[in-house]
Amino acid sequence: MVDSRAFTPKLIYNVSMFKGKSTIHRHKILQGINSTAKATIQLSPRELLLIENTTVISLTEKIELLSIALGHKLTGELFSSILYIDNASTGQEEATPESIDAIDFFLQQLSFPYYKDSAERTSRTNPKWKILTWFQVCLNEKVKIFMQDFANELTDIEEGVLYGYPQSAIQAFAGLIEPDHTTKSESIAKKYIGAGIPSQYFADEEEAYYLKQWNELRDLSKKLVMEAERFVV
């Protein structure tokens, strides 16, 4: 009898053979960061109360912060309350210092690593250049460094992982499996924490994924979940 093992190629267990150069570079940078990559943030009662009652971010952004604290997401953005004015000298729209300072002061009182970022944008409806500004909030210092260094070169799959979407939704967004483009009524959970494009064949599993996270959010802040569900608190 022929021993089939004789025809099995010898495997060389070198992790670099499974990674591209950019991935190895990222890995080395993260390994060099002297910081614990914690998977959750334990918000104090004071921090939770501050998030629940602040007026400087939207309800969606408050839920985003809680999702990061629970480890559902690795990162997210705060930008909805940033106001813009015309800069006569540059001809650009720029964020007002007051609206930037308000969010910055709010975040300084919390445990999230974060940084302010911006990018120049224009659109068909408004051809004037606009310097979009936002705060990138992260789960831990390593995620913060990762986003600062590599945000502009992320793949669809990496973005999906960072923003905590279910695996099948990430695959659908990346075009690896069939997405579902049909118009369906969204659950509250999917509206606030779900991916924009579900998969065609795993939508029910994805909904269960969101519902589980929604219930964990409810345990953390019944107030915010009830506000999202339009109940009287």
Question: Does 161 share its domain with 206?
Answer: yes
28 within some domain? yes
What pLDDT sits at residue 123? 63
Question: Does 142 share its domain with 174?
Answer: no
Q: Rounded to an integer, what distance in angstroms lies between the CA atom of residue 148 and that of residue 154?
A: 11
Residue 216 CB neighbours (<10 A): 15
Of 15-19, 43-47, 140-144, 151-155, the least confident: 15-19
Q: Rounded to an integer, what distance in angstroms lies between the CA atom of residue 93 and that of residue 127?
A: 11
Break the chain down into helix, strand, coil percent, rounded to 5.
45, 15, 40
Q: What percent of the chain has pLDDT over 70?
A: 86
The domain tally of the chain equals 2
174 within some domain? yes
Q: Rounded to an integer, what distance in angstroms lies between the CA atom of residue 201 and that of residue 191?
A: 19
Among the candidates 151, 182, 205, a domain finishes at: 151
Q: Rounded to an integer, what distance in angstroms lies between the CA atom of residue 76 and that of residue 139?
A: 9
Question: Does 128 share its domain with 162?
Answer: no
10 Å CB burial of residue 136 (0-12, 13-18, 19+) is buried
Question: Does 79 share its domain with 129?
Answer: yes
Range 54-61 contact pairs with CB under 8 angstroms and sequence separation of 24 or more = 54/106, 56/81, 56/102, 56/103, 56/106, 57/81, 57/103, 57/106, 59/224, 59/227, 59/228, 60/192
Instruction: Tell me the two tokens of residue 142.
Output: 């390593």
Residue 132 sits in which domain range? 16-151
Among the candidates 133, 151, 169, a domain finishes at: 151
Pairing of strands 114-121, 92-95: unpaired
**Helix, coil or strand: residue 138:** strand
Question: Does 183 share its domain with 205?
Answer: yes
135 within some domain? yes
Convert the pLDDT of each residue in 150-179 to its tens digit.
999 999 999 999 999 999 999 999 999 999
Convert the pLDDT of each residue in 50-92 to its tens digit.
999 999 999 999 999 999 999 999 999 999 999 999 988 888 8
Residue 130 CB neighbours (<10 A): 19
Residue 70 CB neighbours (<10 A): 19
Distance of CA 76 to the CA centre of its chain: 4
Question: Does 69 share its domain with 95?
Answer: yes
